[in-house]
Amino acid sequence: MNKYLDISPEVQAALAANKPVVALESTIISHGMPYPQNVQTALKVEQTIRENGATPATIAIIGGRLKAGLSPEEIEHLGKEGRNVAKASRRDLPVLVAQKKDGATTVTTTMIIAAMAGIKVFATGGIGGVHRGAQTTMDISADLEELANTPVMVICAGAKSILDLGLTLEYLETKGVPVIGYGTEELPAFYTRHSGFRTDYRLDTPEQLAEAFRAKLEMGLKGGMLVTNPIPEEYSMDPTVINKAIEEALSEADAKGVKGKEVTPFLLARIKDITGGDSLASNIQLVLNNARLAAATAKCLANG
């Protein structure tokens, strides 16, 4: 085992017994939602995974240790500290570990640590991607490169609708990452079920997802698989409302010179304010929906 990695006793026992485990990120706790909703949501997501027959493994860096499986106290710590905790991508891991600092894991670093621990399924809200205007800024999320290299299935509600979805799909195609629509042929756009873009394949059951990922692993193909699971209809936002809010938030970010890894937290916070909190409610529901699907798929993988 990696000498920098700590796996919680609960997660370690589940992995040793080949029981289903679902990884969860921690950026959503420290950078994605305000306190105390961030802690409440994190614990609710863990509870949902347990209720659906799997073991949750929330992932973070605590005191320089890579953690697969957090205690409620550690989740509370990340929630209260909020943006004082570093948002940790692949490039940040060596320094955070060497300096024994805390880090909230993005999709990228959650995949890395999950793979180290032997966890194959990861539930999140939405992945990063190619940002609007990337033709000139070259602002492309490290999440896409990680999906191309690290063997973890990522279940999400699509790429965040603040991104250029067409270019994000083109990048994933170039990198050989299968983009699966769960019960749909259309790429969901995080807050809404519709984007106008097609996924590579439609699969309709957790069993089919597990079979496809198992085949990928057994063929020795590198990289992960992206499963896009539409937000439940009753929580889907009006595309006109959310797109207007996104455009307003993007204009503000540009005017204020917000750059790099600060862009996404800034935009999500502003969209929440502009929509009167509706986007936060949708965000919570789509994460719970992804957790349920991830637990079911992890069970199928473990039983295969």
In tens digits, the chain (304 residues) has pLDDT values of 689 999 999 999 999 999 999 999 999 999 988 899 999 999 999 999 999 999 999 999 999 999 999 999 999 999 999 999 999 999 999 999 999 999 999 999 999 999 999 999 999 999 988 987 877 778 889 999 999 999 999 999 998 777 889 999 999 999 999 999 999 999 998 888 988 899 999 999 999 999 999 999 999 999 999 999 999 999 988 888 887 888 888 788 888 988 776 777 787 778 878 877 777 888 899 999 999 999 999 999 998 7
Six token digits for residue 242: 């959310």
Query: What is the rounded CA–CA span in Å between residue 49 and residue 291?
Result: 6
The pLDDT value recorded for residue 1 is 60
Query: What is the rounded CA–CA span in Å between residue 298 and residue 113?
Result: 17
Torsion over CA of 32, 37, 40 and 45, rounded to 10 degrees?
A: -40
Catalytically annotated residue among 67, 87, 120, 160: 160
Query: What is the rounded CA–CA span in Å between residue 20 and residue 50?
Result: 10
Domain span at residue 54 reads 5-303
Taking the model in full, what pTM does it have? 0.92
Residue 262 catalytic? no
Number of structural domains in the chain: 1
The pLDDT value recorded for residue 151 is 98
The pLDDT value recorded for residue 241 is 83
Catalytically annotated residue among 25, 46, 76, 146: 25
CATH number at 71 reads: 3.40.1790.10
The pLDDT value recorded for residue 267 is 77
Residue 120 catalytic? no
